[in-house]
Amino acid sequence: MDAEALARMIDHTLLKPEATPKQVIRLCEEARTYRFAAVCVNPVYVRLAVRMLEDTEIAICSVVGFPLGATMPSVKRYEAEQVLQEGATEVDMVLQIGALKAGDDEMVRDEIAAIAELCHAYRALCKVIIEAALLTDEEKIRACRLAQAAGADFVKTSTGFGPGGATVHDVALMRRTVGPQMGVKAAGGIRDYTTAQAMIAAGATRLGASAGVQIVREARKEEEAG
């Protein structure tokens, strides 16, 4: 995969709580330069990102129920509606991890379905973060199937704030579970081109990374080296 194609798979991400407007502006400028698929920012910065990238095709992604997933479903829906009204075109929501582990599949599915339906009404994508590092393989499979049944567009490995990030094993398991039609986003700990390649080979169709610039620069060096 060439560097340009790789860039179009990256959600250039800044979700640190200490992120400043100046840093978000730089993130957007880098996304414009490298033509990333999206920028992913906290809800308070959606409007700024929209303004910075309004004349581009770069998607504006924000997060809901982040990073714990333990917010009430009605609050998650309200939060999603707010970022969509601000101009977000993709929403990464954290599912209710405790409910999943307790076996309350109906609650998990209904919560995802409410957000997915709202996103689609705004012609936006819904990605479901399952926080794989907290789950058994059986729970990962259930989470993916519930997200798929609820009408989500992607499943995503991690928030980047949990006990672990994306792994090749998890990405491959998620891809096998959802099949070829649904997106799989690998996120958390993807800091170099080699790791990015491994995630894509395992089945990821999108990469969430704060190191997007470094990853693409490494890919370009590989191309130049022949």
Q: Does residue 226 have a pLDDT over 80?
A: no
Does this model's pTM top 0.85? My answer is yes
Domain layout of the chain by residue ranges: 3-224
- Alpha helix (H) ranges present in the chain? 3-7, 21-34, 46-53, 73-86, 97-101, 105-121, 137-149, 168-178, 193-202, 212-224
Using the 8-state DSSP alphabet, how is residue 124 labeled?
Answer: -
The third-level CATH classification (topology) of the domain covering 3-224 is TIM Barrel (3.20.20)
List active site positions. 92, 156, 185
Mean pLDDT of 110-134: 98
Q: Does residue 163 have a pLDDT over 80?
A: yes
Q: Which residues, in sequence order, are CB contacts of 226 under 8 Å at separation 6+?
A: none
Q: Does residue 157 have a pLDDT over 80?
A: yes
Q: What is the pLDDT of residues 8-20, one digit of tens each?
A: 999 999 999 999 9
- pLDDT (0 to 100) of residue 225: 87
Q: What is the pLDDT of residues 98-110, one digit of tens each?
A: 999 999 999 999 9
